[in-house]
Amino acid sequence: MKSIQRLFSASRRTRTAQTAALVLFISILSSGCIGTPAMLQPASDNATQISNLTQSILVIAAAVFIIVEGLLIFTSFRYRKRPNAPLPRQVSGNTALEIGWTAFPAIVLAIVFALTLGTLIAIDTPPAQAGAPASNASSSVNVLIIGHQWWWEIQYPDLGIITANEMHVPANANIIMKLQSNDVIHSFWVPQIGRKLDAIPGRINTNWFRSGNPGRYDGQCAEFCGAEHALMHVQIVVDTPDQFQAWVNDQKAPIPTNLTGQAAVGEQMFLAASCTACHTIKGTKAQGQIGPDLTHFASRAKFAGGSFDNIPANVSDWIQHPRELKPGTVMPDLGIMPNMGDTITSFLETLK
């Protein structure tokens, strides 16, 4: 009790420091909830259901916490040892209490289980079974997502488009995602769009979503997959239908053939270097399958598994020494000099 009195009689300065520490603590705790990915700002029906489930369980957990901790604190003070007090009444067993504290948690867990199962079934049911035909091309888009160490390959089999780390989808359409891996187990997770789903070698997992909120949503590989797991980001860009059609047209367009100056020199350097062994640029002899398809590299906001902003300085830096920037990456340091890095970059930046 004395320590509590001391706490309450603490100087104003101490209390200010305590308040500041508390505010800082809460800010750090809640810092994961603002910006993107913003767990508490769902942008699809599936993410909304997950968010609602989270909040329901949070309320239940908070109630349990308050009841249990309240009883604990009440009991600690009410029945604490007092000087010269006699030994308390010795109790051995109380059937009603024991049934109560077994049944109560079982009921609470059963409620949580039912809520979770309901949400799981609701968000996993593919649209075809939910009444919206997946075969209707105008209302659904098929995407094949392949996890690589450490980037995401994104294919649109029906559209003939292959890209990386940035997945464009039209708003208000059913997006059917098939997920697989090229090497180890990864996990595709864009919190504002939907649940986590593992990308497993030799297996195809299916998931779907539908978003009515155009915007750019960050995601992160959510399964430890090696040295650069933390630098394996993905972005889902929900476009308006017109924006999506424009994006599709751009992605299907051939690369520019009328390059001049530094960009033209850069193209020759790229095609002469061993870049072509790993990367594809459609319409050129570069047909490598190991690294990301670069045909429309400049249309993406980020590169190298979403690690860096796609600006010329970063791209040139990356070409010169990828393993310094992302140790463990498959892309080798080829000893490319700064002026060559800049020249190749000026070519890559034409690949809109």
Binding stretches for ligand CUA (CB under 6 A): 147, 150, 186, 221, 223-225, 229, 232
Query: Cβ of residue 195: shortest distance to ligand CUA, in angstroms?
Result: 16
Q: How far is the CB of 221 from ligand CUA (least distance, A)?
A: 3
Whether the upstream peptide bond of residue 189 has omega within 30° of 0, thus cis, is no
In whole angstroms, give the CA distance from residue 24 to residue 168.
37
CB-nearer residue toward ligand CUA: 42 or 147: 147
**What region, left, alpha or beta, does residue 98 occupy, with left being phi > 0 and alpha being psi -120 to 50 degrees?**
alpha
CB of 302 to ligand CUA, least distance (A): 16
Q: 200 or 265: whose CB is closer to ligand CUA?
A: 200
| Identity of residue 329 | T
Provide the minimum distance between the beta carbon of 203 and ligand CUA in the complex, in angstroms, as a whole number.
15
Angle at the Cα of 334 from the Cα atoms of 333 and 338, rounded to 5 degrees: 95
Half-sphere exposure of 345 (CA within 13 A, CB side): 19
Element (H, E) at 23: helix 12-30
Closest C-alpha among 142, 64, 147 to residue 108: 64
Smallest separation, CB 181 to ligand CUA (Å): 8
Which is closer to ligand CUA, CB of 226 or CB of 241?
226
Q: How far apart are CA 154 and CA 161, in angstroms?
A: 8
β-strand pairing of 233-239 with 166-170: parallel
Burial of 65 (0-12, 13-18, 19+ CB in 10 A): exposed
Residue 119 or 165: the one with the smaller Cβ distance to ligand CUA is 165
Closer CB to ligand CUA, 177 or 263, in the complex: 177
Cβ-based nearer residue to ligand CUA, 203 or 352: 203
Would you state the structure tokens that stand for residue 114, as one six-digit string? Answer: 């039912």
- If the CB atoms of residues 228 and 317 are measured against ligand CUA, the closer one turns out to be 228
| Residues with Cβ within 8 Å of residue 1, at least 6 apart in sequence | none
> Which residue matches tokens 């464009």?
168
Angstrom distance (rounded) from CA 104 to CA 213: 41
